[in-house]
């Protein structure tokens, strides 16, 4: 699949690091560093603008290393970029650690996954089919 992209940053285009990678790193494109205090959040711009085909979304997800090592994650993970959005990609980062974290321009801040999706049509009914699980909610599928 080919996706149109405008890159207003000095960074390279996002790319897959390995043949089996699902995501591509997004890098910060900011005029000056941003410090995220503990529990602080900020929208970090990337300088990227994309045109997705209808039926495709881009998912903005945390980078596992940044989350595990520094406590920095994507607040609305996964963030969804719809096919009709034409603005700059921004990443909502949050600092879940107890220490300040400084974000520099060019730093890898998140990953982008391109995914096809379906659109649902609702069929309003009075009854749903029965299953073994039934109405069991959170934690109901574990062993007893």
Report pLDDT digits (tens) over 79-118: 999 999 999 999 999 999 999 999 999 999 999 999 999 9
Cis peptide before 78 (omega within 30 of 0): yes
Tokens of 89: 């990609």
Q: How far is CA 26 from CA 45, 65, 105, in A?
A: 10, 14, 11
Q: Please, what are the domains in the chain?
A: 4-116 (2.70.40.10)
Residue with tokens 């650690």: 97
pLDDT of residue 144: 55
List of residues 6+ apart from 15 with CB closer than 8 A:
24
What average pLDDT does the segment 11-23 reach? Answer: 97
Tokens of 63: 């980078």
pLDDT of residue 139: 73
pLDDT of residue 120: 96
Percent pLDDT > 90 in the chain is 90
- Which strands, in side-by-side order, build the sheet including 72-74? 41-45, 90-95, 72-74
Q: Kindly report the average pLDDT of the chain as a whole number.
A: 95
Q: What is the pTM for the complete model shown?
A: 0.90
Cα separation, 93 vs 66, whole angstroms: 11
């Amino acid at each position: 699949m080919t996706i149109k992209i405008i890159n207003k940053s000095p960074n390279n285009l996002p790319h897959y690091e390995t043949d089996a990678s699902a995501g591509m790193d997004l890098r910060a494109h900011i005029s000056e560093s941003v410090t995220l205090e503990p529990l602080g959040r900020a929208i970090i711009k990337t300088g990227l603008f994309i045109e997705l085909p209808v039926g495709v979304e881009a998912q903005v997800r945390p980078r596992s290393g940044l989350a595990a090592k520094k406590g920095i994650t994507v607040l609305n993970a996964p963030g969804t970029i719809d096919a009709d959005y034409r603005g700059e990609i921004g990443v909502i980062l949050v600092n879940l650690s107890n220490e300040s974290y400084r974000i520099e321009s060019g730093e890898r801040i998140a990953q982008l996954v391109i995914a096809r999706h379906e659109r649902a049509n609702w069929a309003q009914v009075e009854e749903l089919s029965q299953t073994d699980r039934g109405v069991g909610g959170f934690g109901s599928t574990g062993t007893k």
